[in-house]
Amino acid sequence: MGVGLLVGGAFLFVVANDAFTEISLEIDEKKVTEKLIKGDSKASSKVAIITIDGMIVSDADGFIARQIRAVIADKRVRAVVLRVDSPGGTMSGSDYYHHLLKKMKSERSIPVVVSMGSVAASGGYYVSVIGDEIYAEPSTITGSIGVVASLFNASELLEKIGVESTPVVSGDYKTMGSFMKPMSEEERALFQRLIDDNFDRFKTIIREGRSEFANNPAKLDKLATGEIFTADDALKNEMIDKIGFLDDAVERAISLARLTKQECKVIRYTPKLAFVDMLMESRAPGTLLSGETLSKATTPKIYLICPRVVPVE
């Protein structure tokens, strides 16, 4: 038998049967939990692994943001390893997490070492350049420095099935980017300007994070073509600092923090779900085709993404 109670803003869930009674109290659903990776659990100093994996989208209350805020709030964290395994995502999401990471570095003045996983491309590289040093695994794919807008033209299909778009608008460009009509040359020029502005910001972020390119912008321009690079090529082009695995990045972070392995512990953050979140996970099938989901799918977005390495299921 299960009983749910709301107690002072916290959800109390009691499970009872003949064998046992279990009480779980979730006070703050926004926090994260810590998982000990290595070291003495009683050590006061911590090296925290922040994980950014999968598609990057902006979420102010999401797991990535909660990890970063946990580091800002925890004075026992003396260094951070940023584990990136992502083909990129939206421009706004990549820029937002870069902003939070930059704020973390400013407020805490702690070293940040990046550990790239299988892929850290486009938006994945965007967030990676916040690191004081960047490690990539031997098989890492990185680069894909560039910007793309997700735009579609289904006007011929709609015409074949008898659907006509008749919007009433306040200006000539209010429907620019609509998949229900062909794009005009004027609209394409406006979108190109948006892409160029965001591309300039992408390169500015890289130059701020990598002194090699701050001192040689032309070198970055040669690499910023959307091309993807192996770890060896990225090292030759000074896009990364070392080839190594997560353990190597952790050891370097410990060294930069002037700690020893004996006096610190390495932790990784994991999501902490409130009971209401677990209920939401079991929602009925079919919600993927909600009006909100369809609206998001057809809204033009600007992406920092490497489509060649996006997994397809």
Any catalytic annotation for residue 174? yes
List 86, 94, 115, 122, catalytic entry? 122
Structure tokens belonging to residue 90: 């939206």
Nearest one of 73, 129, 74, 130 to 101, comparing CA atoms: 130
Selecting among 35, 174, 222, 236, the annotated active-site residue is: 174
Q: Strand 242-243 and strand 148-149: pairing?
A: unpaired
Query: In terms of C-beta density within 10 A (0-12 exposed, 13-18 middle, 19 or more buried), how is residue 93 classed?
Result: buried
Alpha-carbon distance of 145 to 149, in angstroms, equals 14
Paired residues of 243 in beta bridges: 136
Tokens at residue 9, please?
A: 């803003």
Question: Catalytic annotation on 203?
Answer: no
Give the angle subtended at the CA of 125 by the CAs of 78 and 132, to the nearest 5°. Answer: 30
| Residues labelled as active-site residues | 122, 174
